[in-house]
Structure 1
């Protein structure tokens, strides 16, 4: 799925130069930049490991609070995914009982094939940071309306309980079924199952779910999340045309979700990191959603990637777990935002290669399943640094806007963020892969900055007082490194509570002189 591309000559030169113009006020094509742009999707089977049972998982909590401190808002959490359609509620189970297939070298941490849960399972939501908003998935794959309704009733019961209400954690949506367009491939429906049959099937299950949850339309505190398809197998445009929104439960849909991965590692394979870190490839994996974004917007729905990450089936070694993937995360997420995608829910599991964090100790390798003795303690992975950069760009105001900058280099992406009508931050990402095996001098791109002035007072004030900017760098030794990144001079890998170690390092950039950006590096400017 990934093709090796020849990158633009930088390996043989020391410094290339580009001119970049930054509008001082948001252009007409700017898009809202949500404070929960970076959110998380969690597998249902090991949800208790993520948050804790009788007490909270402190590592998860510290990591989520660290990200929230940059935007003032906790990341949203969706619990569901593949194990969503293998979950059954039981009145005799307290928390959960899981049945797992054997691990292997390709999938060292497989999802459970059956999860049986009780009421306490959903009340564990209280261990998330205060103010977290959640989406919970219920089982459509089993085609069992009673089970789906029981799950929904238990979810709503949990969020009405005193302990969850006191925690400040909020339920926004119930999702009915995960990636139903793949059911005909995974045995949950016949091989000839169609989108027309999906719509009728969804309505037959969603009706009892909505009734059990007390959901009548979109005006209540909780509504339904629609679609949740695996890319383009089925599309929102198709189900809208088939009348899903005119059905009784369809009137309770208030948001549209689709899923996206850039490749798949389900059967193994060799994925070159150098091709993954590529502007053209990133954009090609997102632009095919534009018609669905438009269709959702026309209906008045926010559009999200309710599950996404680098390479499906838990990620590929040497790609998903690397520093290069952290840079990919920045470009991928911001490119999605410029297309009108409100939030991206990066998928996480226990022991998945593409995790932002590993929330519990691991006793076998995520790469090949070999035993780890001693176990590897909870830790952040490279993508967490991408989240730090992204949330810093988003900021704390809650209603910033974003625009992509025209950068005349095949490897360098740029974006600007706006608050109260003026530019406040910009980020540049150099996706040229500097590998541990690369010989020669590490190349750089020199970015000469210009500013497109308007006539507003705020713009003139910026121009007269904004001759310098503060710069924070995401520094990476090699794109294929799996650790030892720093953000603004600090590491987040060396503490048990995700607190930074090292001295904060900010540069002062004279705007008229521009800045240098090395291969496999990102820089964020604060004006």
Structure 2
């Protein structure tokens, strides 16, 4: 293989997790939470970073006298509260998370003293605190939100001025720990537009964040699985974030998709499918190639969240994509390169050793949609110049597959890694994974066959 393919260094925690604010304490009571994260750590050598936030962070008020982590009332356990309080033990729970933690606090209610009090408690309690974001998706605030200055029309410049005011007012107490932007409505609301408004206060910004959902399931919107998992569509969609990442990097800051998943409002029918697992895999790689340092996959209301990786009783199909891409990236410093041109349904990637600059693994993704009916097509991809492989020798590969793209585990379907590897309800690995042999031909040539809606890692 050619050694001059353009490659990018990948953050060890490129695949990370966002936990909805009000239900974060409940996530800590589920065995699968720590086990799923620990599995990723074992594959990547680094525990995933955690962001605690979401819609309910902007409904929350800090109560330093509250004995419980959170307090709220809902009509149904599947509902998110319209308002809630949280206390010091909220941050004690967050301090127990093993990875970097970003905490989202309320800005919409315009109670800076309350949010500052919470932030100071977070800094006091959490040695693992990476950053604090004030406000979740302020681009969606209504004109009647308390944060909107009197006589102003809420807009990117007005929000930028408010963000600057909050940062400059609290920096002397908190230091340079702010996560700025936190916008969903790109490109109208952007990191690129915010940075000039922040001006010199950007020195107190730790990270910049955008939110991203390729599709919407809100208000009865229609979702489309073939479009979600299509490789060329993923390449096109993620490219929009390259200038955002470049803007952040240009002022010496990291850029995260601090909340992301397949479809808004919990995910719709496409989100628990095997096709969404394949999307997770390809989306992470394309995000990294476009300069996104970390992608935080959102986990919402427990029991009412189709895009969640896990719940109380099931580890869902998308988690298999998270595990598979983590295995492909592997441990240690790695460089990632895309080997195809991004225009077709089949994507191919290589991971290079940072030390030797030699490819150590390949990944092939056949994004052609297969719904379980008719003939399942197959694509054969050939690679040449595989170094170290003598003619007639055999290298090995591992496959991520299911009977079709629509398979969901909560409906009794199976997704497997290596033919038999799965995860039980506690996210502990079960079954036996097996490797496939790949023969090396003359000149270090190999050919691999990948079915529609399937992926394969080749170990060089």
Partner of 2:401: 475
1:251 pairs, out of 199, 203, 206, with: 203
**What is the CA–CA distance in structure 1 between the aligned matches of 2:328 and 2:64, rounded to whole Å?**
46
2:62 pairs, out of 69, 86, 89, with: 89
Larger RCO, structure (CA 8 Å, separation 6 or more):
1
Q: How far off its partner does 1:238 sit?
A: 1.1
Q: Answer whether contact 1:426 1:526 (CA < 8 A) is retained.
A: yes
Structural RMSD (CA): 2.2
Partner of 2:214: 262
Deviations 1:388-445 (A, max 9, x none): 1111111111x20101111687221111101121100111111111113x22x21100
1:299 pairs, out of 251, 257, 260, with: 251
Q: Answer whether contact 2:116 2:170 (CA < 8 A) is retained.
A: yes
Distance 1:466 1:97, change over 3 A: farther
**What is the CA–CA distance in structure 2 between the aligned matches of 1:100 and 1:186, rounded to whole Å?**
24
Q: Answer whether contact 1:245 1:253 (CA < 8 A) is retained.
A: no
Q: How far off its partner does 1:492 sit?
A: 2.7
**What is the CA–CA distance in structure 1 between the aligned matches of 2:392 and 2:335, rounded to whole Å?**
20
Distance 1:466 1:143, change over 3 A: farther
Q: How far off its partner does 1:211 sit?
A: 3.6
Partner of 2:309: 356
Partner of 1:334: 285
Partner of 1:499: 428
2:319 pairs, out of 379, 384, 396, with: 384
Distance 1:466 1:304, change over 3 A: farther
Partner of 2:156: 195
Partner of 1:411: 345
Distance 1:507 1:198, change over 3 A: same
Q: How far off its partner does 1:101 sit?
A: 5.5
Q: Please identify, of 388-397 and 510-519, the stretch whose mean Cα deviation from structure 2 is larger.
A: 510-519
What is the TM-score when the length of structure 2 is the normalising length?
0.91
**What is the CA–CA distance in structure 1 between the aligned matches of 2:454 and 2:347, rounded to whole Å?**
11
Distance 1:198 1:269, change over 3 A: closer
Q: Answer whether contact 1:32 1:340 (CA < 8 A) is retained.
A: no
Secondary structure of 2:222's counterpart equals coil
Distance 1:340 1:464, change over 3 A: farther
Count, aligned residues: 444
Q: How far off its partner does 1:147 sit?
A: 1.1
| Residue 427 (structure 1) aligned with residue 427 (structure 2) | no
Q: Mapping of 1:23-42 within 5 angstroms?
A: 23=2, 25=3, 27=5, 29-42=6-19
Q: Please identify, of 64-73 and 496-505, the stretch whose mean Cα deviation from structure 2 is larger.
A: 496-505
**What is the CA–CA distance in structure 2 between the aligned matches of 1:182 and 1:326, rounded to whole Å?**
28
**What is the CA–CA distance in structure 2 between the aligned matches of 1:39 and 1:299, rounded to whole Å?**
23
Partner of 2:449: 516
Distance 1:429 1:91, change over 3 A: same
After TM superposition, the runs of 4+ consecutive aligned structure 1 residues lying more than 4 A away are 100-103, 185-191, 463-467
Q: What 5-or-longer segments of structure 1 have no aligned partner? A: 1-21, 160-164, 218-222, 361-376, 453-458
Secondary structure of 2:325's counterpart equals helix
Q: Please identify, of 405-414 and 149-158, the stretch whose mean Cα deviation from structure 2 is larger.
A: 405-414
Q: Please identify, of 256-265 and 319-328, the stretch whose mean Cα deviation from structure 2 is larger.
A: 256-265
**What is the CA–CA distance in structure 2 between the aligned matches of 1:197 and 1:72, rounded to whole Å?**
42
Deviations 1:103-135 (A, max 9, x none): 6xxxx8333211201101110024434xx1111
Q: Answer whether contact 1:76 1:134 (CA < 8 A) is retained.
A: yes
Q: How far off its partner does 1:44 sit?
A: 0.5
What is the TM-score when the length of structure 1 is the normalising length?
0.79
Q: Mapping of 1:226-241 within 5 angstroms?
A: 226-232=180-186, 233-241=188-196
Distance 1:69 1:306, change over 3 A: same
| Residue 114 (structure 1) aligned with residue 83 (structure 2) | yes
2:106 pairs, out of 139, 149, 170, with: 139
Distance 1:408 1:296, change over 3 A: closer
Secondary structure of 1:380's counterpart equals coil
Q: Answer whether contact 2:232 2:343 (CA < 8 A) is retained.
A: no
**What is the CA–CA distance in structure 1 between the aligned matches of 2:180 and 2:281, rounded to whole Å?**
26
Distance 1:158 1:31, change over 3 A: same
**What is the CA–CA distance in structure 2 between the aligned matches of 1:119 and 1:504, rounded to whole Å?**
44
**What is the CA–CA distance in structure 1 between the aligned matches of 2:139 and 2:294, rounded to whole Å?**
22
Q: What 5-or-longer segments of structure 2 have no aligned partner? A: none
